[in-house]
Structure 1
Amino acid sequence: MVFATIAALSGLLVLLTLLPLSRQEVWWIRGLDFPRLQLASVALALSVAIPVLLDRSGTVTWLMLAATLACFLYHAWWIYPYTRLYPVEVLQADDAIHGERIRILSANVLTPNRQADAFLKLVRENNPDILVTLETDLWWQERLDVLEADYPHTMKCPLDNLYGMHLYSKLPLEDAEIQFLVEPDKPSMHAAVVLPTGLRVRMHFVHPAPPSPTENDESTERDAELLVIAKSVAESKLPVVVTGDLNDVAWSATTRLFRKISGLLDPRIGRGMFNTFHAGYRFIRFPVDHVFHSRHFTLADIRRLPYYGSDHFPMLVELAYDKRIAPLQQGLPADEEDREWADEKTGEKDVEKDDVHAPDEEPALPRRGI
């Protein structure tokens, strides 16, 4: 009985590990990109249990051990960069240098959640320059509008389909536009944010639908939206930030492809996973709320903020503009196969990089004191 149980679990682990290696976009395969930490934990537990509980003189025992160890190492390879053991990709900001800073709070509020007072308290305590909210409808808009005294620059797209989006900014917004790039009811926001010295930062706020049995049968729509934005920002002359609930984990093949094509950096690398979903289940959480940025920025602060009633924790990231550091920071390089794969994914939804609203570009102003 013990042998049969461990053998079945080992076989299932191997199957769940191998399936995502295919580029099939069906939801139940792409969903297996998410639980790599959980699968690594199961693989490690089985690797310990097999030599302890089974006959170590049997060849099958050692084959199972080899298979479970291989699964553990494979999943660990994906999540290792999101541990403190890995070198940071984004350098820490120098507090002694007074440069341009931008503080961003991104929160998927969960439309049925009615704890708006708790959320507003959290916003005021953390005092972001930019607040982007996802899943916000008219009810949430009415509550959030009290922020306009401090956040006079806004973009609003209230929807009842769990894809509403609102942007509240202390900083001026220029050349702003709301788009529905891939699906007619899934908005994204695009604007140039003007920092106090006049530096313009190109920002994109996104929330594509996930592959799931209740959303899209495949990841095609999500992948196309992320990658067409990646193609667009790769050519930007301005500093760039892309943020939102991407409905994809930080370590998935698609998110890695997004980073390769866009050239953007992930401030979590070498600092932690910052799992934001699901807030209600401690052992089933994934990093799906993201802030990616160009090499122009170093990291002043990154935090997962406390629970306030949503199924997502909010993310707070503060970036410091430091053009001297840009040559020292490198993301993931893209090769020809990566570019062909990105073209294939965007081509499936007939969307091009020129479809993405790109704010008018002006050269970044020189940083004061440099």
Structure 2
Amino acid sequence: RKGCNVMATVDVFILWGLALVTLVVVLATLLPMLRLSHWVIRGFDFPRLQLAAVALVVLILQLALLDLGRPLSWFLVTATALSLGCQLWWILPYTVLWPREVKAARHGDPERTITILTSNVLTPNRNVGALISLVEKHQPDVLVTLESDQWWEDQLAVLKSRMPYTIQCPLDNLYGMHVFSRLPLIEAECRFLIEDDVPSMHALVELRSGEKVRIHFLHPAPPSPTENPESAERDAELVIVGRSVADTDEPVIVTGDLNDVAWSPTTRLFRKVSGLLDPRVGRGLHSTFHADYPLLRWPLDHLFHSEHFTLVSIQRLPSIGSDHFPLLTRLRYAPVRGQDQEPLQGDRDDDQWAKELAREQGASKHDVPEPGQGPEEINRK
């Protein structure tokens, strides 16, 4: 009898232990569905892959250890399975199991190819030689650095002999930004769209073939207890840029550290209102953060583009000592081949949500520079 009591106690312990873990998994799955911008809620947007792995392990333990003759056991199994399915719904598009959103480029004119290296360097990091070596090895047409202060500007000055076109905004608040380009930058401008100490950069880049591409470099602040307690500022910057580029038929690229994961509701909203494509879809996560913790990684550094481009390659480069890996993307300007590529489709609710996010911050798509748009077209809008 004593042995039976011990076994019953163990069974109860396992049941309620798994019930507690299931409750945590369910809450972590449901909370991000709320349109609340507090960092505690938005923080659950990030570790969906990790939460899916936890849900899978919990589901296996439930099936192995619980008495499936009890209704409570099946309730727990069902709740965990639904949570796992929900997490997979968000992340599966960023695996090779999903159809590719962007076509692979065919062999073509290299003069219509643009290579962009995006690198959050981490301000206190001093391994500038690693970044310069990557530039020398991969020969990007455009290099954008995030978190680069005056020290980084001074060290990267050696690149100017090969990349003479620059936009520079050294800051020591983790939001400095620099652009170095082999290709001409036209109407280049640094603008503080939402916050007075968080810059963005905007320009036309002229390809070797002569075509001009509108390009925006972004690094909005994340929702966190040490920075912005809410995601409102980040979300507003994304949607006003998205709504701005939606107004043009010209080729567009948006890149940078967006401090948001590829699958979050706000990044998806940005893709819907902008009409831009994500070359990661169907190709893999290419997670760029955190470089030091393999089990806690997600894609924070992004490149989105209009249907005018197809993809030559996208790859995460080796660490340069930052908490972010650099991201290297090669695109080919191929408007005919790319014209039937399908972006995420938005609806009236998405448009209304985007307008509300911008309105809450007193921001507008008209705050975003539109390089290449003459006064007549700007006034017409």
| TM tier relative to shorter chain | over 0.9
Alignment of 1:191 with 2:191, yes or no, is no
For the residue of structure 2 that corresponds to 1:307, the secondary structure is coil
Counterpart in the other structure of 2:240: 228
- Could you give the per-residue CA deviations for residues 197-216 of structure 1, whole angstroms, max 9, x where no partner exists? 21000000000000000010
* Structure with greater helix percent: 2
Query: 1:361 offset after TM fit, Å?
Result: 3.5
Residue of 94, 112, 125 corresponding to 2:137: 125
Change (3 A) 1:310 1:98: closer
> In structure 2, what is the Cα distance between the partners aligned to 1:32 and 1:198?
44
Counterpart in the other structure of 2:94: 82
Alignment of 1:53-202 (within 5 A): 53-96=65-108, 100-202=112-214
What is the aligned residue count? Answer: 362
- Could you give the per-residue CA deviations for residues 42-97 of structure 1, whole angstroms, max 9, x where no partner exists? 11111111010111111111110000000000000000000001000000000155
Query: 1:237 offset after TM fit, Å?
Result: 2.7
Q: Which amino acid aligns with 2:41?
A: I
Counterpart in the other structure of 2:264: 252
For the residue of structure 1 that corresponds to 2:238, the secondary structure is helix
Query: 1:99 offset after TM fit, Å?
Result: 5.6
Counterpart in the other structure of 2:318: 306
Moved over 4 A (4+): 96-99
Query: 1:327 offset after TM fit, Å?
Result: 2.4
> In structure 2, what is the Cα distance between the partners aligned to 1:270 and 1:334?
20
> Greater CA radius of gyration, 1 or 2?
2
Equivalent pair of 1:172/1:194 in contact (CA under 8 Å): yes
For the residue of structure 1 that corresponds to 2:236, the secondary structure is helix
> In structure 2, what is the Cα distance between the partners aligned to 1:224 and 1:97?
38
For the residue of structure 1 that corresponds to 2:339, the secondary structure is helix
What is the RMSD computed on CA atoms of the aligned residues? 1.0
**Structure-2-length-normalised TM-score:** 0.94
Alignment of 1:205-284 (within 5 A): 205-284=217-296
For the residue of structure 1 that corresponds to 2:336, the secondary structure is coil
% same residue: 53
Equivalent pair of 1:105/1:128 in contact (CA under 8 Å): yes
Q: Which amino acid aligns with 1:356?
A: V
> In structure 2, what is the Cα distance between the partners aligned to 1:93 and 1:339?
32
Q: Which amino acid aligns with 2:185?
A: L
Q: Which amino acid aligns with 1:197?
A: S
Equivalent pair of 2:277/2:305 in contact (CA under 8 Å): yes
For the residue of structure 1 that corresponds to 2:273, the secondary structure is helix
Residue of 328, 334, 337 corresponding to 1:322: 334
Residue of 334, 339, 346 corresponding to 2:346: 334
Equivalent pair of 1:99/1:321 in contact (CA under 8 Å): no
Q: Which amino acid aligns with 2:165?
A: H
Alignment of 1:8-23 (within 5 A): 8-23=20-35
Any stretches of 5+ residues in structure 1 without a counterpart? Answer: 363-370
- Could you give the per-residue CA deviations for residues 8-55 of structure 1, whole angstroms, max 9, x where no partner exists? 100111111111111010011001000100111111111111010111
Query: 1:118 offset after TM fit, Å?
Result: 1.3
Equivalent pair of 1:237/1:361 in contact (CA under 8 Å): no
